[in-house]
Structure 1
Amino acid sequence: MPDRADDVRREGVAPGAGPRRPPERWLFSGTYGLVLASAMISALDATGETADPASDALWVLLAALASCAAHGYAHVIARRASADGSAGTSRLRSVLAEWPLVAVVLPTVGMLLAALADWWAEETAVDVALLFNTVALFAVGTSAARIAGRRWPPACRAGAMDMLIGLMIIAANALTH
């Protein structure tokens, strides 16, 4: 039996009136932001340096904002270079549409700020953030596959493949420290 939500239509419900799906851009930006946050905290967590969670949190946030702006503006440039040659009137909207990239780094920033408040050591904040982001990569990958109509086993395999990115960052962090 198919495991796709759109294969079963409820009586009296118009086609396409099912649950709302997150846009592809959200899934892309969310995944990109999680990988960015993990890579940034791993790189900023240098052995032998004095812990500075405030500076690290600021750098993670600034990197996300810069990436958001760059990616949104890249869409504007791509539209400008497309066949119609126009970038449209919504340049700012293209940049602002990348907000998921910034939103997904906020838990990482929050964990670093918790270290600033002495709730835990910065090293612990980094470890927890890397683990959180890796689990979130699994969740985003799995949900994207489910939205695409995959059954649970293949969707979980897709999520596991996304999670491998986080695991590689964790491994690189462990090897460099």
Structure 2
Amino acid sequence: MPERAHHDRRRAVAPKVTSRHRPQERSLFSGIYGLVLASALAAALDTTGEKADPGPDALWILLTALTSAAAHGYAHVIAQRATTEETADGTANGATGATRLRLVLAEWPLVAATLPTVAILLTAQAGWWAETTAVDTALLFNTLALFTWGTQAARTAGHRWPSAYRAGALDMLLGLVIIIANALIK
């Protein structure tokens, strides 16, 4: 009997196996948000009947992503500041300036997720193809990336493949909604 109890105790305290390359929840959130943001902006900036201008469109997407990432990070700083207590001498007990900077810089996946769209638009600026084709390619790429990120997030959370594919398909719907809206609006 004692041997069984010892065996159960060892199993209960066994550490979970985690991957060193496992994406964090915040990275997944920021990455998916960045893909949706880039898709929506690319679709909105590519208007029919106007002169194609993919270079400035790419710049607007990048600047919007940088601003959004900074705003998200700063919102985390404000939320953390609101939850920290002040000490008797009136100073905040909690995050340092470096910690706050790390909170803002942790939003880098949002910006990174927009870079493929920016790169695709810049190839149109270089004359490799028309801006409309570049936007359509970026929307397709981002939609497939949403499926991949959603599937990866579900697998990371421990879901089996069928469930992970369903989660990826739901994330992919965000991209499909943008593609359909882009087609209907134009």
Question: Quick one: distance in 2 between partners of 1:18 and 1:57?
Answer: 37
Q: What amino acid is the match of 1:119?
A: W
Q: Which of structures 1 and 2 has the bigger CA Rg?
A: 2
Q: Which residue in the other structure is 1:95 paired with?
A: 104
**Over the residues paired in the alignment, what is the CA RMSD in angstroms?**
1.4
- Equivalent runs, 1:1-177 vs 2, <5 Å: 15-16=15-16, 18-20=18-20, 21-82=22-83, 84=85, 86=92, 88-89=95-96, 90-177=99-186
Question: Quick one: distance in 2 between partners of 1:16 and 1:122?
Answer: 48
Q: How many residues align?
A: 164
Q: 1:76 to 1:18 in 2, by over 3 A?
A: closer
SS in 2 for 1:129: helix
Q: Which residue in the other structure is 1:5 paired with?
A: none
Instruction: Judge which range, 74-83 or 108-117, deviates more.
Output: 74-83
Question: Quick one: distance in 2 between partners of 1:62 and 1:91?
Answer: 22
CA offset digits 1:69-127 (Å, max 9, x no partner)? 00000000111112546561122111111000000100000000000111111000000
Q: Which residue in the other structure is 2:10 paired with?
A: none
Q: What amino acid is the match of 2:142?
A: N
Q: Which residue in the other structure is 2:11 paired with?
A: none
Moved over 3 A (4+): 14-18, 83-87
Question: Quick one: distance in 2 between partners of 1:117 and 1:97?
Answer: 32
Question: Quick one: distance in 2 between partners of 1:164 and 1:94?
Answer: 30
Question: Quick one: distance in 2 between partners of 1:64 and 1:77?
Answer: 20
Question: Quick one: distance in 2 between partners of 1:135 and 1:115?
Answer: 21
CA offset digits 1:2-57 (Å, max 9, x no partner)? xxxxxxxxxxxx84454221111110000000000000001101111100011100
Question: Quick one: distance in 2 between partners of 1:82 and 1:55?
Answer: 40
Q: What amino acid is the match of 2:51?
A: T
Instruction: Judge which range, 74-83 or 58-67, deviates more.
Output: 74-83
TM-score, normalising length: structure 2: 0.84
Question: Quick one: distance in 2 between partners of 1:84 and 1:106?
Answer: 39
SS in 1 for 2:52: coil
Question: Quick one: distance in 2 between partners of 1:36 and 1:88?
Answer: 30
Q: What amino acid is the match of 2:44?
A: A
